């Protein structure tokens, strides 16, 4: 017993300071929000769009746009672009409230997620229970969601907890592209959550089908079955991206985000 207590004291405080302190360092190979430089795009060149496996890149009036909901953050577009007009930033903040806000151009400012309205914040701001539904995922997004429950992240310190039953939940956290076999299960899980309720789509699959976009056995994400209140893109999104989205929805990051949006 004494050896256990001594070892625990030697370990010290292991939970990160974020959001009160700086975010944890991200690996060098981390790929955040894609950056488009339309000034470098050769006329009539569409090589990046042709290379994209999920049709995330489109051109409107000659200018490229990227759908972050479809983007799987691979490097196919970078390798196909002859002028290095596409790059990845280190910005992990990607969560939004509206699906249309995920479609951005070279000069588009990403409209980051805002907090719930005052009534819902009174209900969920201090205690949010979520039922996680894997509706046909590969287990990558599910794994990164689970990371938030570890001692280093400690999601529970914000009053956010994962529960076993939708009847005990305030909302659903959906991962996976929603296969035909999971459609009814997702509908029933949503119906079992007492109103008012929220739905969070985590990952490219849950938003738009991800790499399975063209597979006829999937439905193209959670919104094809139930309404969605928060979209967190990525394939999979980094745990920090997921945490940023959840805390933004609960109004715990607004003070930190305002300076960066000026």
What tens digit of pLDDT does each residue of 126-174 get?
999 999 999 999 999 999 999 999 989 999 999 999 999 999 999 999 9
- In the prediction, which pLDDT does 62 show? 77
Using a pLDDT cut of 70, give the percent of the chain over it: 94
Max alpha carbon distance in the chain (Å)?
71
- In the prediction, which pLDDT does 5 show? 75
Residue with tokens 């360092």: 25
Report strand pairing: 171-175 vs 160-162: unpaired
Displacement of CA 91 from its chain's centroid (Å) = 13
- In the prediction, which pLDDT does 8 show? 63
- In the prediction, which pLDDT does 63 show? 83
Low-confidence residues of the chain, pLDDT below 70?
Answer: 8-13, 254-262
């Amino acid at each position: 017993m004494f050896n256990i207590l001594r070892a625990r004291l030697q370990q010290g405080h292991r939970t990160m300071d974020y959001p009160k302190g700086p975010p944890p360092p991200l690996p060098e190979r981390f790929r955040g929000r894609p950056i488009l430089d339309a000034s470098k795009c050769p006329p009539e060149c569409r090589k990046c769009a042709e290379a994209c496996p999920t049709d995330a890149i489109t051109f409107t009036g000659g200018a490229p746009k990227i759908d972050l909901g479809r983007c799987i953050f691979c490097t196919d577009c970078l390798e196909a672009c002859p002028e290095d007009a596409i790059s990845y930033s280190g910005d992990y903040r990607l969560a939004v409230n509206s699906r249309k806000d995920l479609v951005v151009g070279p000069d588009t400012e990403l409209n980051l997620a805002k907090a719930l309205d005052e009534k819902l914040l009174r209900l969920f701001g201090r205690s949010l229970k979520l039922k996680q539904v894997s509706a046909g995922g590969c287990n990558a997004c599910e794994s990164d969601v689970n990371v938030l429950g570890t001692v280093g992240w400690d999601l529970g310190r914000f009053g956010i907890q994962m529960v076993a039953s939708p009847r005990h939940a305030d909302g659903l956290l959906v991962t996976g592209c929603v296969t035909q076999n999971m459609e009814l299960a997702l509908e029933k899980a949503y119906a079992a959550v007492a109103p008012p309720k929220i739905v969070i789509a985590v990952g490219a699959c849950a938003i738009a089908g991800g790499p399975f976009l063209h597979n006829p056995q999937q439905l193209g994400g959670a919104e094809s079955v139930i309404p969605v209140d928060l979209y967190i893109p990525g394939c999979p999104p980094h745990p920090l991206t997921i945490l940023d989205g959840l805390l933004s929805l609960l109004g715990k990051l607004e003070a930190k985000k305002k300076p960066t949006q000026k």
